[in-house]
Amino acid sequence: MAEFKTIETQEELNGIIEARLQRERAKYADYEQLKQDSAALKELQGKKYDDQITALNGQIQKAQSDLTAMKTRAEAAERSLLRSRIAAEKHLPAELADRLTGDDEAALRADAEVLSKLIAPVQPPAPLADPGQGTDAGKWGDLSNALK
């Protein structure tokens, strides 16, 4: 360690203080740069998070839109199925099922009832009679007449 030297003038004191201040300032010389870098990093992170949030919000909106579309399709399919079922119950042709109107099952049934009164119900065709079938007496009688 150096030997202590007494300070005799104000200039010596100012020089010592200035040297000490320069050493301290040198320690923190990059403080402003670090402060700027930190602010820039925070801004980039904020922008990155904002971009991610924006992307996620877009995905959420698309999923909600898809869900709404699927719900609409499902409801339309359920209404169509209900109309078809009611038309079949009232023996209406399948082509008229889509013409049934109403907001609920009771209204659809009432409309089907009115429509079924206006048109003849669809009946399956009766099976054709087989002329070869009948009583044995009739067959033998025809055969005996044919042999004479």
Average pLDDT, the chain: 84
Under the banding of pLDDT at 50, 70 and 90, the label for residue 17 is very high
Residue 5 belongs to some domain of the structure: no
Backbone angles phi, psi at 28, to 5 degrees: -110, 25
Residue 136 belongs to some domain of the structure: no
- Round to whole Å and give the CA distance between 55 and 76: 32
Q: Residue 85: count other Cβ atoms within 10 Å of its Cβ.
A: 13
- Round to whole Å and give the CA distance between 53 and 62: 14
Query: pLDDT tens-digit profile of 64-100?
Result: 999 999 999 999 999 999 999 999 998 888 888 888 9
Q: What total of structural domains would you count in the chain?
A: 1
Q: What distances in angstroms separate CA 111 from CA 81, 89, 117, 121, one per listed residue?
A: 16, 13, 10, 15
Q: Tokens for 39, please give them.
A: 């602010």
Q: Tokens for 63, please give them.
A: 């999923």
Residue 44 belongs to some domain of the structure: yes
Q: What is the pLDDT of residue 141?
A: 55
Residue 141 belongs to some domain of the structure: no
Residue 71 belongs to some domain of the structure: yes
Residue 144 belongs to some domain of the structure: no
Q: Which residue segment(s) compose the domain that 28 sits in?
A: 10-119
Residue 114 belongs to some domain of the structure: yes
Residue 146 belongs to some domain of the structure: no
Percentage of the chain beyond pLDDT 90 is 41
For 8, half-sphere exposure in the C-beta direction (CA atoms, 13 angstrom radius) is 1
